[in-house]
Every structure is written in C-alpha cells, then in structure tokens.
Structure 1
Amino acid sequence: MAGVLDTVNSRTRLVGENRLEILLFQLSGPQLFALNVFKIREVLTLPALTQMPQRHPHVAGVIHLRGQTIPVIDLSGAIGLQPIEAKRDSTIIVTEYNLSVQAFLVGSVDRIMNLNWDTVQPPPKGAGRAHYLTAITRLENMRLVEIIDVEKVLAEIVPFNTRVSEELLEDPLLSKAHGREVLLVDDSPTGINQLRDTLAQLQLTMHVATDGLKALRMLQAWADTGEDMNQRLLMVITDAEMPEMDGYRLTAEIRKDPRLKDLFVVLHTSLSGNFNKAMVEKVGCDGFLSKFQPDQLVETVRARLQLLES
C-alpha cells in the first residue's frame, strides 16, 4: 500500500498542463473521495496511536513517524459522516498542507486517477456535503468522486490566524495599497475568506473568481473595454489547484495575452516545496506563497508597491 505513491516525482510534469492526479479512497461508506497526489506523502497502516487529553473530537490521537509527531484526523467524522474507529489495521493518508503535516484516517484506498482539470467541476449547490468539497468528477463508469476541501477541515480543527502584525501594518508604504484592486482566485471558500480577512487590513478592493477559467474570462472582459490592466489591478493572487483551469495554466494564459502579460501574478497555495518554486519559474509567476501566512502575504503586497515606486 505504501508503494502506491512511489512514482509521484515523475508526475510533476502533469501540473502546468492543466492535469492532475488524485488518490481515490473511501471513508465510512461506499462513496469515493479524493485528494491531490501532490499533497500526499505516503499511505500506510496506522502505527501505534497515542491519545491526547482534551484533543479535538475529530483528532483520533497522534503518531510518531520518522522523527515527527503527527496528528491523526478522522476525516469521515470531520466532514459530517459516520466516524471511523482507529484500529491496528486502519489505513492512514499522510499529507502536507500549508507547511504542516497531518494524517487522515480513512476506510480504504482505491487507486490513483489521472485526469484533466477541465473534467473537474465545482460541487452542485445544495448538495449535502458541498461545504466540505472543492470539486467533483466522475470515473469512466460515471461513478461520482468528491474532492474534499481539506483547508476547511483543517481550519475547523486548528483555526488559522489572519491578523497581520502591527509593526508591519505601520509601514507607511502600505498606505498606498488603500483602494487598489486585486483579483483573488481560489475554489475554496475558506481560502478566499482567509485572503479577504488579511487583505482587508490594507483596505484593498477585492474581486473574486472561484476557478482559473472564470478569472481569465473576467480579466479578458475588463481588457476588452480598453482598460489598462496594469493600472487597474495591483496583482492577481491565485490558488494552484482549481476546477476547470488550475493556477499554473491561468498564469500561462495571462502571459500569452498582450493586454494581460505584464500583470503581477502570485501563486498562493497549500502545496509547498521546491516543486512549486520550479513551476512558478516555468509558467512565469512573479511570486509564490504557501498558505496561510498573513505577514508574508502583506510583505508580498509591500514588495509589489515598492516595485511600482522604483
């Protein structure tokens, strides 16, 4: 089972081609769920579990793995389904999100699926679990696969801090951000809310698109009116993983359009590591930020303002 991700490094070429690979698994029932392979470190049988006093109801305990203490989260219970009991033969998926490592207790792992982002759709409005999903897709036999909004799950267990340090906010250069416009692109409502809460402290005007394709159409529509996009937008802040069109492809499309090519684009993602930095250079992003670090986000805005001043 641990070998299911052995070839993950060879898959990095898929990103930037508007493709992804997802790991399919089940929780407490027959429904298939998925996570992006690039956020998964390994899949293994649950090691010895240590239960902690006063832990969150959805945290089964902690494990010690390769020198790290890692919380084990009952993913089924966390998204409102029947909780899964942690047993010796239980399966866990060890993941890295937002520079933190955690393991998710699951029922069973199915397989890895390779697909195009344009076959991935937002969850239908009114769906019972929609608020814990970022997207859905289907297998060849039309069986539904639900892609979980892990950022929301983690935010409910360990709330993110969105406050910017007072010392940073006192920088007089940041006053030049007041009233400037930015475009935020993210399919996770949690991700958008975090960005809003932080950037509101700079009195920025924010536009939102929930995937790369919507963002591109919004930018093109503004450009069609004859607006100077570099004057209108201070920057575009985009997630990497999104239905329809990912942030890498969005950036590449922006660079292809002579009306948009000089926009300042920052990749803001829960993916991390040298792989992302390499992709930033490949598609032409101006910056990379791991979620969610309010001071670093504001430092990026400050650096953009400083660039405009020079």
Structure 2
Amino acid sequence: MAGVLDGVDMRTKLAGHNRLELLLFRLGGRQRFGINVFKVQEVIQCPPLTEIPQSNPVILGIANMRGRTIAIIDLSRAIGAAPIGDHREKFVIVTEYNRKVQGFLVDSVDRIVNMNWEEILPPPKGAAHGTYMTAVTQVDNELIEIIDVEKVLKEVVGGQEEVSDGIIKERAEDMPAQHVLMVDDSSVARKQVTRVLEQMGVEFTTANDGQQALELLLQWLDEGKDVENWLSLVISDVEMPRMDGYSLTKAIREHPQLRHLHVILHTSLSGVFNKSMVQKVGANDFLPKWEPDTLAMMVQEFLQRHADARAKNA
C-alpha cells in the first residue's frame, strides 16, 4: 500500500483546483470511510505495540517506527463503534495532523480515489449532530463517510483551549468595530477559533465550507456593504466539502471587490507544501491548527493592518 502513496508532486498539483485524493478504508463492517491522502504518511501492517498504563482506552499502545514513537488509536472505538479486535492482522494509517504524528488502526484499506471537492458534501441535516461524520461522498454508488478526525484527536489527546494571559492586547478606544469571517466544516474547529475571537472581543460570522463563505461574501456585496472595509479578516480551513480553502482564496483574489481581503489559511495539514500553496493561491498567511496563542497573535496583527489601511484610506 505504501507504493500507492508515492508521487506527492502529482497530488500537489491537485491543490488549488478544488480536487483531492481520498484513501478509502473499513473499520470492521461493510461501511467504507475516507481520509485525505495529504494527511497520510504511510499505510503499514500493525507493528508490535507497547501498552501504556492508564492511557485513554482508545489508545491501543505505542509503536516504535523508524526511530520515533507514535500512539496507535483504535479509530473504530474512538468514534463510538465496536473495537476492531486483534490488531496483529490489521493495518495502521500513519497520519500527520497539526504537526503531530499518530497512527489509526483500521480493519482494512481499500484504495485511493481522485475526486473533486464539489463531490464531497456536508452530511444530511441532523445526521452529523453528535457524530464523528464531517462529510460524505459517493464512490461506486456507495456512501463514503469522512470522519471528523479533529474531533477524535481533541477527545483523545486534548490540548490548550484558552489564550494564555498577556497574549491578547487591550483594544484601543479609537479602534473601529471589526468583523471576521471564520470558515471550517468541523464544528470543533469552529468552536476553537470563535472562542479565541470571543476572548478578543471581535465580532464574527461563521460558514461551514468555502462555497457557503463565497455566497456570504457575494450576498454582502449585493446588500451594498463595502466588504473590504467592513470585513477585517477571513480565517479559512483548507479541507472542506463543496469548495476547499485554496479555491475560496483564489475566488476572493479574482473578484475585483474582494481581492484585497486579508485571508489566513488555518489547517491541520502540515509541511512546506502549505507554505507554497499560500503563495500560489494568494493567501496572506498560513497557520497550523491548533495553537490558540499563535492564532490570537496573528489575528491581532491582521486586525491592526486592516485598521491602519482603513485609517489611511479615510
């Protein structure tokens, strides 16, 4: 299976064209699931594991892989289903999220499919509430569920929730009211970012994917808003149903009344690939998830830039 994951250069060309590749797998039943290949480092047969006393019950143990130690998570149990069982004959999908490497134990791995983000759809209304499903798609006339891995990792690993004391600066009395558009298909990620914005006292609007965000921007223009002056910042995830963050940024840059908007891409995808894509699609910056202090500092910087630009043009 590792050979299937070769050819990163080819997959890099998909980004910015609203395309992705999904690795399909099963967790024990007939249902197939998908994960973005860009988050996958390799797929291996489950190695020997060392149990960790008093660890989260979904963590089967740790494995030593090429000189590094990584946690192996029973993905089926992590999403509330039955444990996968004897791990020795199963597979591990080694992934990188938020600059951390972990392995997800799965029952079997199917194949990789090349898709358009327009084919990745939000779950039916009401179906995703309280579940770990962040999107769905169809392959071979079969429903494929895409798991909200950020929710899984938050529950298993945890992490810093609040901005540290001293990071958020007191807003100047003459600072104009500022508005932020926050775009992410993960409810966990939206709550994490909006919690920071609330701590900063900044008004915001949320959207669940790039298409909804673009429709909001165009709606505001139709309503007569001077969006570039009113909207201080767009914070967007990269991986989203219907329209990804790269394509949203590209659409903003190509619109004459939106092209000067400040855009930060906020994503769990790691590596230098993202930095090159920031330049390619015209985003202002890239921020890995989840670092509330860094997010707060970057948001403050861009809000100040926007306020300075408004004062200069006044």
Q: Give your verdict on TM over 0.5.
A: yes
Residue 102 of structure 1 is matched in structure 2 by 102
Counterpart CA distance in 1 for 2:7 and 2:156 is 31
The alignment yields a C-alpha RMSD, in angstroms, of 1.7
Which residues in structure 2 correspond to 1:19-30 (within 5 Å)?
A: 19-30=19-30
| 1:155-194 equivalent positions in 2, closer than 5 A | 155-169=154-168, 171-172=169-170, 179-194=177-192
Equivalents in 1 of 2:244, 2:216: separation in Å? 15
2:229 equivalent among 228, 231, 243? 231
1:221-274 deviations in whole A, cap 9, x for unaligned?
A: 101122111221110000000001000000000111111111100000000111
**Superposed counterparts of 1:83-162, under 5 Å:** 83-127=83-127, 131-139=131-139, 141-162=140-161
* 1:276 positional shift: 0.5
Q: How does 1:182-261 map to 2 (within 5 A)?
A: 182-261=180-259
CA contact (8 A) 2:128 2:134 kept: no
Q: Percent identity?
A: 50
Q: Distance in 1 between matches of 2:280 and 2:42?
A: 27
Distance change >3 Å, CA 60–CA 114, structure 1 → 2: same
Q: How far does the alpha carbon of each residue in 1:167-203 deviate from its partner, in whole angstroms, 9 at most, with x for none? A: 212x345777784210000000011011011121101
Matched letter for residue 114 of structure 2:
N
Structure 2 CA distance, aligned partners of 1:199 and 1:231? Answer: 19
- Cα separation, partners in 2 of 1:81 and 1:287, compared to 1, 3 Å: same
Contact 1:14 1:20 (C-alpha < 8 Å) held by counterparts: yes
Asked if the contact 1:2–1:44 (Cα under 8 Å) also holds between the matched residues in 2, the reply is yes
State the TM-score, normalized to the length of structure 2. 0.94
Which amino acid counterpart does residue 204 of structure 1 have in structure 2?
V
SS class of match (1:252): helix
Q: Look up the match of 2:312.
A: none
Partners of 1:244 and 1:281 in 2: CA distance: 22
From the superposition, tell whether residues 177 and 192 of structure 1 become closer, same or farther in structure 2 (CA, over 3 Å): farther
Q: Please identify, of 5-14 and 281-290, the stretch whose mean Cα deviation from structure 2 is larger.
A: 5-14
Separation in structure 1 between the aligned mates of residue 132 and residue 29 of structure 2, nearest angstrom: 16
CA-to-aligned-CA distance 1:79-138 (integer Å, 9 cap, x gap): 111111243232000000011110000000000000100011111133378720111000
Task: Please say if residues 233 and 303 of structure 2, whose CA atoms lie closer than 8 Å, have aligned partners that are also in contact.
Answer: no
- Count of aligned pairs between the two proteins: 308
1:81 maps to a residue whose letter is: A
For the structure 1 residues 302 and 44, does the alpha-carbon distance in structure 2 shift closer, same or farther, using more than 3 Å as the test? Answer: same
Matches within 5 A, 1:280-295: 280-295=278-293
Residues 158/177 of structure 1: CA separation in 2 closer, same or farther (3 Å cut): farther
Shift, 1:162, TM fit: 2.1
Gaps of 5+ in 2: 310-314
Could you say what secondary structure the match of 1:216 adopts? Answer: helix
After superposition, the Cα gap between the structure-2 partners of 1:128 and 1:182, relative to the gap in structure 1 and judged at 3 Å, is closer
In 1, Cα distance between equivalents of 2:240 and 2:279: 20
Task: Using the TM superposition, give the Cα deviation of residue 163 of structure 1 relative to its aligned residue in structure 2, in angstroms.
Answer: 1.2
Distance 1:175 1:294 in 2: 24
Conserved 8 A contact 1:119-1:244: yes
Scaled by the length of structure 1, the TM-score of the pair is 0.95
Residue 2 of structure 1 aligns with an amino acid whose one-letter code is A
8 Å CA contact retained: 1:50, 1:61: yes
- 1:48 aligned partner, one-letter code: P
Change (3 A) 1:112 1:177: farther
| C-alpha deviation, 1:8, in angstroms | 3.0
